[in-house]
Amino acid sequence: MDEVFEKRLPRPEDLNAMTEESLKAAFAGESQAAEKYMVFAEHAVEEGYANVAKLFRAISYAETRHARNHLRVMKGIGATADNLLTAFGGESFEIDEMYPAYAAIAKAQENAQASRSVRYALKAEQDHKRMYADAREQVLTGKDVAAQLVSVCEICGHTVIGDVPDKCPVCAAAKEYYKTF
Amino acid sequence: MAEPFKNTPPAPEDKGVMTAQNIAAALAGESQASQKYLAFADVADADGYPNVGRLFRAVAFAESTHARNHLSVLGGIGTTTENLKAAWGGETFEIDEMYPAYDAVAKLQENKSAQTSIRYALKAELDHQGIYDSTLKGVEGKKDLAAEPVRVCPICGHTVIGDAPDECPQCGTAGLYFKEF
Question: B66-83: buried (b, 16+ CB within 10 Å) or exposed (e) per residue?
Answer: bbbbbbbbbebbeebeeb
Tens of pLDDT, residue by residue over B27-41, are 999 999 999 999 999
User: Is B173 in the A-facing interface, judged by CB distances under 8 Å?
Assistant: yes
A177 and B6 within 8 Å at the Cβ level: the answer is yes
A62 and B152 within 8 Å at the Cβ level: the answer is yes
Select the residue of B152, B155, B181 nearest A9 (Cβ to Cβ). B155
Select the residue of B63, B68, B120 nearest A66 (Cβ to Cβ). B120
Q: With CA atoms as reference, report the closest residue to A152 among B58, B64, B67, B30.
A: B58
Give B3's pLDDT tier (boundaries 50, 70, 90): confident
Instruction: Provide the shortest C-alpha distance from residue B159 to chain A (in Å).
Output: 7
**Interface-testing mutation among B17, B27, B35, with chain A (most A C-beta atoms within 10 A):** B35
B124 and A87 within 8 Å at the Cβ level: the answer is no
Instruction: Provide the shortest C-alpha distance from residue A66 to chain B (in Å).
Output: 6
A87 and B40 within 8 Å at the Cβ level: the answer is yes
For residue A134, list chain B residues with Cβ-Cβ distance below 8 A. none
pLDDT value for B1: 62
Q: Taking all residues of chain B, what is their mean pLDDT, rounded to a whole number?
A: 97
Cβ–Cβ < 8 Å for A23, B103? no
B47 and A80 within 8 Å at the Cβ level: the answer is yes
B13 and A62 within 8 Å at the Cβ level: the answer is no
Is the per-residue pLDDT at B123 higher than 80?
Answer: yes
Cβ–Cβ < 8 Å for A156, A124? yes
The DSSP H or E segment spanning A153 is strand A150-153
User: Is B134 in the A-facing interface, judged by CB distances under 8 Å?
Assistant: no
Q: With CA atoms as reference, report the closest residue to A115 among B26, B176, B120, B38.
A: B26
Angle at B158 between CA B157 and CA B159, to 5 degrees: 105
Q: From CA A157, how far away is CA A120, in angstroms rounded?
A: 7
Where residue A75 falls (left for φ over 0; alpha for ψ -120 to 50; beta otherwise) is: left
Give pLDDT tens digits along chain A (181 positions): 467 777 789 999 999 999 999 999 999 999 999 999 999 999 999 999 999 999 999 999 999 999 999 999 999 999 999 999 999 999 999 999 999 999 999 999 999 999 999 999 999 999 999 999 999 999 999 999 999 999 999 999 999 999 999 999 999 999 999 999 9
A61 and B181 within 8 Å at the Cβ level: the answer is yes
Select the residue of B19, B58, B179 nearest A111 (Cβ to Cβ). B19
Identity of the residue numbered B175: G
Tens of pLDDT, residue by residue over B40-94, are 999 999 999 999 999 999 999 999 999 999 999 999 999 999 999 999 999 999 9
pLDDT value for B90: 98
Q: From CA B153, how far away is CA B169, in angstroms rounded?
A: 10
Select the residue of A13, A26, A56 nearest B102 (Cβ to Cβ). A26
Q: How many Cβ atoms are within 10 Å of A89's Cβ, its own excluded?
A: 12
Q: With CA atoms as reference, report the closest residue to B156 among B170, B174, B177.
A: B170
B114 and A23 within 8 Å at the Cβ level: the answer is yes
The ipTM assigned to this model is 0.94
For residue A135, list chain B residues with Cβ-Cβ distance below 8 A. 52, 55
Cβ–Cβ < 8 Å for A161, A150? yes
Instruction: Provide the shortest C-alpha distance from residue A92 to chain B (in Å).
Output: 12
Select the residue of B62, B101, B153 nearest A159 (Cβ to Cβ). B62
DSSP string, B154-170: TTT--EEESSPPSB-TT
CA B56, B61, B63, B67: dihedral to nearest 10 degrees?
A: 150
A to B CB pairs, distance under 8 Å = 389
pLDDT value for A109: 97
Predicted model pTM: 0.95
Q: From CA A122, how far away is CA B128, in angstroms rounded?
A: 34
Q: Within 13 Å and on the Cβ side, how many CA atoms surround A107?
A: 8
Q: E-assigned strands of B13-170?
A: 150-152, 159-161
